[in-house]
A and B are shown apart, each in its own frame.
Chain A
């Protein structure tokens, strides 16, 4: 609960991550469902996994960098 409050108070710090996640989810993952019969579409998705890992690292860093007691 405390973590959630801390997150909510500093939510603006996570807006870029939210933007890129939602864009990736809608623009890439969900849209791919329309073309799932194309050869290599799964491979193409797997190629971009490092990008998702980098997003997650950025969110963790942003969380750690929040001012103490906020």
Chain B
């Protein structure tokens, strides 16, 4: 990755005014979102961590975690709320940890590709993942449960994060930074291990590696012991308690982002720095909507519909007990 791109962009090139404004805008969104989430949670109908019984669309019984719990665990969550759900100190400490982890990636990106490319990766990550997740979360929160779609049953197509210090819309900072660090590291790993592979191949391998790391982390993070985020029911295939569209989403987002980001130097030659920055961020924004639509149509409607036609009536769970 480094060898390809390094020669095409100025190593010490600055981000320019557009990127500076993008940073200002990003921090402003984080500030406002964090304030709304913690001080006025009713504005975005944020589910209450302390009162699980008050959850609506989906109710506690309509979440995937409900099926993963024993009766005793359900009683405990109903009584005490989400585990460590009110511990803001721990949530800000997790943010700090993730800031440090992603800072390492940012320093590497800046040293190898210049400030502009590093900033585009950083800001683009927020837009790509933060916006994507917020679209899923908010559309599901307000429109979920309106559709009955077998074999998954009542369709919510949503989830939400229960913990977070800083927020970008309804996505915690830790998720956006985590995505940035994982996406960057995995594409770097793919470039090192398969140096002769072209851009598309590297992006595929990077996406698969990221999906591999996510495979273990997600079931653990969403377990009844942690409940860092909560999935609504509605998918027809659960892998270790995680709706499979999550893994498809991870792969698609990292694959597409890697391709678009590595095209930046070519875009810069054609449209200049400001034009290519604007185009890159616009493509990221529209890409999130397209990925969400793709998963909804191809996974839920087409694949689910075909499997239902072939006789699949209930949700497939691998393995049972998750």
User: Are A and B associated in one complex?
Assistant: yes
Chain A residues packing against B (C-beta within 8 Å): 12-13, 15-20, 22-24, 26-28, 31-32, 34-35, 38-41, 44-45, 47-48, 50-51, 54-55, 57-58, 61-62, 65
In the bound complex, how far is the Cα of B104 from the Cα of A13, in angstroms?
A: 10
Instruction: Say whether A24 contacts B223, CB under 8 Å.
Output: no
- B26 on the A face (CB < 8 A): no
**A51 B193 Cβ-Cβ under 8 A:** no
9 contacts between A and B (CB under 8 A): A16-B184, A16-B185, A22-B101, A27-B217, A34-B223, A35-B225, A38-B223, A47-B216, A61-B195
Range of interface residues on chain B? 35 or more
A32–B189 touching, CB < 8 Å: no
Name B189's closest neighbour in chain A (CB-CB): A58
A64 to chain B, nearest CB (A): 10
Query: Complex: how many Å from CA A19 to CA B105?
Result: 7
A12 partner, pick from B111, B216, B221, B240, beta carbons under 8 A:
B111
User: Does the CB pair B101–A23 fall under 8 Å?
Assistant: yes
**Bound Cα distance A55, B199 (Å):** 19
Please tell me which one of the listed residues B108, B185, B193 contacts residue A57 in the complex, with CB atoms under 8 A apart.
B193
A15 to B107, CA, bound (A): 8
Is B212 part of the binding interface, using a Cβ–Cβ cutoff of 8 Å?
A: yes
Most buried by A among B105, B182, B213: B213
Which among B101, B189, B215, B226 is the interface contact of A47 at CB below 8 angstroms? Answer: B215
- Decide if B213 touches A13 in the complex (CB within 8 Å): no
When chains A and B are docked, how far (Å) is the Cα of A41 from the Cα of B223?
A: 11
Q: Map CB proximity to A onto B163-189 as digits: 1 under 8 Å, 0 otherwise.
A: 000000000000000100110111011
Report which of A16, A39, A61, A65 forms a contact with B321, defined as CB distance below 8 A: A39
Asked, given contacts A19-B102, A31-B217, A58-B189, whether A12 binds B107 with beta carbons under 8 Å apart, the answer is yes
For residue B3, give the distance in angstroms from its CB to the closest CB of chain A.
Answer: 9
B97 interfacial contact with A, CB 8 Å: yes
User: Known contacts A23-B182, A26-B97, A38-B223: does B105 contact A55 (CB below 8 Å)?
Assistant: no
A63 to B251, CA, bound (A): 28
B219 sits at the interface (CB 8 A): yes
Q: Which of B66-85 contact A (CB under 8 A)?
A: none
In the assembled complex, the Cα of A31 lies from the Cα of B102 at a distance in Å of 19
B35 to chain A, nearest CB (A): 27
B259 near A: Cβ within 8 Å?
no
Chain B residues within 8 Å of A23, by CB: 101, 178, 181-182, 185, 213
CB pair A44 B189 closer than 8 Å? no
